[in-house]
Amino acid sequence: MTSATLRVAVAGSLLALPVAGAVGALWRGWRGAAGASVGVLTTTVFFSLGILAVDALTRGPAAVVLPGAFVVYATQLGLLFLVYVLLRQTGLVEPMAFAGGAVAGVLVWQLCHTVAFLRARHEIYPGLGEGVRR
């Protein structure tokens, strides 16, 4: 199930990439387009790695899943802020456009991930009724 939700979320984010770039270009020129695009790409990469990390956590003991997911989320936010600070210091991209692209990337990611999760089949009781054919 993780691979399907990951594919849908990444595809949705990549579809939002040119839209964010165009809005950034209209708002702040080429630096705005670069900033918004880098913002969407950064959130897509961080959230993709987060999905894979949480999936790896779910294969272990149940007691570590929730604290581990919190650590993954906090790490994502911290790294996103670090990238923002580093890009702001270089001056290559427009900081506000980066922030707008990052927020747009997060919103699109969450929407696509939620839709993919709701459409996926969830096994509630694994192994129940294995010998029964319908």
Q: What is the pLDDT of residues 82-118, one digit of tens each?
A: 999 998 898 888 999 999 999 999 999 999 989 988 8
Residue 129: helix, strand or coil by DSSP? Answer: coil
Q: What is the pLDDT of residues 30-58, one digit of tens each?
A: 999 999 999 999 999 999 999 999 999 98
Q: What is the pLDDT of residue 81?
A: 92
* Backbone angle region of 129, left / alpha / beta, with phi > 0 → left and psi within -120 to 50 → alpha: left
Provide the whole-model pTM: 0.82
Say which amino acid occupies 26: L
The domain spans of the chain are 2-119
What does the H/E/C string look like for 29-87?
HHHHHHHHHHHHHHHHHHHHHHHHHHHHHHCCCHHHHHHHHHHHHHHHHHHHHHHHHHH
